[in-house]
Structure formats: C-alpha cells, structure tokens
Amino acid sequence: MNRPHQNFPTRGRAKGPARDGAHRRVLWGPVIGLGLVSLAADVVSDGARPLAGPLLAQLGASALAVGLVTGAAEAAAQGLRLIFGPWADRTRRYWTFTLTGYALTAVCVPLLAVAPLAGTSGLVLASVLIIGDRIGKAVRSPAKTVLLAAVAKPVGRGRGFAVHKSLDLVGALLGPILVAAVLTATGNLSAAFAVLSIPAAAAMFLLLWLRRRIPDPGTGRPPAVPAGPHQETAVDPAPAGVVGRPASLFTRSFVLFAAAAFCWSAGLVAFGVISFHLTTTAAVPVSVVALLYAAAMAAAALGALASGALYDRSGAWVLLTIPVLTTAVPVLALAPAAGLAFTGVLAWGIALGIQDSTVKALLADLVPEQRQGTAYGVFAAFQGAGALAGGVLYGALYDTRPLLIASVAVLQLLAFVVLVVALRGKRGP
C-alpha cells in the first residue's frame, strides 16, 4: 500500500488555501499563546509601574527613597538575568523559570493594594513588592525567550518575535488605561492595584494551559503542532555544548558598547521618579499619570519601529539618538510646567523603545552566535548597574535640578563618545 508523503493524514481534510490557512493557525497557536501571556502580565506590571512613585510618596517616601527603590527594581530586572539566564541553560528547566517569574509578578503587584493599610511598615512592604515584581521579570525573561524562539521556529523567528512584541505592547498600553479608569472612578490607589489581580490570574491560567502543550526545548520533544510541507516537525533540542574553544565575548566593541549602555541607563531615570515629580511638584492627578505612561509606551513602540527600520537601512549609527534623548529627559520631564513634563515623558518612552529593540539587534551583531545568551546576561548587568546608579543620582540631586541636569548631560556626552568609538570599530550592517 502506498503511503502519502504528508506528515499527517489528509483524509477528510480540506485541500488548498483552506487547509493551508488552518495549518498556519495551528503553527501560530503557541506563539500567540505566549504573546497573550505577555499581554496579560504587562497589564499587571505596566499598570502598576506609573503608580509606584505616587504610592511611595503617599507612604512617606522622600525623592531619594523613591529613586533608590525604583532604581534597585530596574537594576534587579536587568542585572539578575546574568544569574537566571545561565542557570536556566544549565538545568534546561525553562518552564520552571518562566512560571516562577510570572508568579512573582502575579503575586507582588496585587499585594501592593494592602501597603497603605499596613501602617508604619507599609513603605517597607511596598518597596519589597515593587522590587519583587522586577525580580520576577529577571527570572522569567531569559527562559521565556528560549521558549518563544523554539515555538516561533516553524513560522519564522523574525515574524514570531514581532507578533509577540506587538501583543506585549498592547498590554503595556492597556494596563495604565485600566488603572486610570479605576482611579478616576474611586480615587483609591489600593483599588487600582487590587483590580490588577484579574489579569494576573488570567496570565497564570493561560500559562499553565500552555505548559501542557509546549515542552522544554532541552527535552528534544516536539511541541503539539504539526509541520508544514517545508517546516520541521520538532523543536531542535538545545545543544549540549560547542565543539572547540568559543570565541571571546569581551571584544573591544562589546566592552565599549556595554560601557555606553551603563552611562545612558544611569541617565534614563526610572519612571517612578518621573511619576513622583508629576504628582508632588507638577500637581498632575495620579489617573493622568497612568495615561501618560500609556502614551510613553505608544511612543516606545514608534521609537522601536522607526529605529529598527533605520538600523536595517543605515546601520547602528541610529543608536546615537539614545544619549541625545536621554539628555533631554530631566530637562523636560522634571520641569515644573506640566506641558514640558508631558513632552519629557514622550522622550523617555522613545529612548526606552530604542533600548528594548534596536540595541538588542546590534548586540547580536557584536558577539559570536554561541555566546549570545551569555552576552545578553552580561549586557543586562551593565544596564542594571546603570539603572541603580541613576536611581541614586536622581534621588540625591532631585532638589538641585540644575546640578542633576548637568550630571546627566556629562554622562550622556560620555555615552555618545564611547558609542562612536565602539561603532567605528564594529564590523556589522
């Protein structure tokens, strides 16, 4: 009996475009599923992020305390990936790290609702929970990226990552809008944090559902999706090792690029300090601050798209816009006039969008392929250290803004010069 050459039986299945369309939907399922998890989790995390400064201020924190807490949170989100990325690679338990990281966010953010009710310990509790949310980001990000790379392979990793990022940004927009609506209706920060328990529960439910359908890449077991005529059926298992001595990670260009990233990260203030300023100095309602954060996320998306297109067309010189934009942030975002502060928020968002997209493209061009995972962790550690230094800088000099602006300008001039030197020595697009 002759067997058909297809990977699965064709009896009873539609042929032609209808079958191809159904097949594409099945292949895209895991990618869309992980994207929806990121969407729901970003509603939680990015819904809470613009409220960190006002919450800490309500609990009696000074500008220095806000800078320390939000700077430490961003440092943890970036720097701890240096630990959890290699750890996930060694154990091949990518789902364990993904679930744990999302669970930290799903628990820590809604619990911020009880901080105002905790009396004198409320400030400490809020600080721990804010940092805990960002630690969750560090725990899950490297492992989740490995999972996404595996399930995106049958549809094309470029398109798969692009769709995932789009869904991620939808969550970053919806979160602040949701908390703004709750604040407008109730005027209560605790209510705004409490409502985020709903998308948190949705993210965890969907994640557990996907866990049964997507294996750890290290097992070599294929995901529960069929292969097309020109696609592979299984996800390639993670390689056990690389034959021969891998090329050095710490090239001159990589070290210079990481040093530039430290400088611009130290100058790009955490949004917690901006929101603290908007509510305490510029007298902006907390609900409006949440909407401004949503606008910053929209600006981040546009910045990522524009810089990505310019990077492909003209090369990495587009990244010189980061120190320029970062220099403008304290001048505008910390101005006493609300209009200037709004403009500064948009500049902050554009700079952040370029960092989250085009910077990663250049990083991949700077290091050997077999060292990219380690490079991502090391580079994130430089960014995290810069974020922590920036939190201290902004907190300590908040009341002497001319000195703060001058300090950020010096840091960004240094970042600009170091980045020019790094790009001159880079071989790349």
* Residue 104 vs residues 16, 43, 162, 236: alpha-carbon distances, Å: 46, 14, 26, 29
Length of the chain measured in residues: 429
Residue at 382 is within a domain: yes
Residue at 195 is within a domain: yes
User: Is 257 within 8 Å of 366 (Cβ atoms)?
Assistant: yes
Residue at 12 is within a domain: no
Whichever domain contains 405, its CATH number is 1.20.1250.20
Residue at 327 is within a domain: yes
Cα angle: 151, vertex 102, 126; to 5 degrees:
155
Residue at 10 is within a domain: no
**pLDDT of the chain, 429 residues: tens digit per residue:** 444 443 334 444 445 555 555 556 667 888 899 989 999 999 999 999 889 989 999 999 988 898 889 888 988 888 888 888 888 877 888 899 999 999 999 999 999 999 999 888 999 999 999 999 999 999 998 888 778 777 877 876 556 666 777 788 789 889 999 999 999 999 899 999 999 999 999 999 999 999 988 887 755 555 444 444 334 333 334 344 444 455 566 778 888 999 999 999 999 877 888 888 898 888 888 888 888 988 988 888 888 778 777 877 787 888 899 999 999 999 999 988 888 989 999 999 999 888 876 776 677 567 665 565 667 778 888 888 888 888 888 888 988 989 999 999 999 999 999 999 988 866 544
Range of the domain at 319: 24-219+246-424
Residue at 262 is within a domain: yes
Residue at 240 is within a domain: no
Integer Cα distance of 171 and 176 in angstroms: 9
Q: What is the pLDDT of residue 246?
A: 53
Integer Cα distance of 330 and 344 in angstroms: 7
Residue at 1 is within a domain: no
Number of domains in the chain: 1
User: Is 365 within 8 Å of 426 (Cβ atoms)?
Assistant: yes
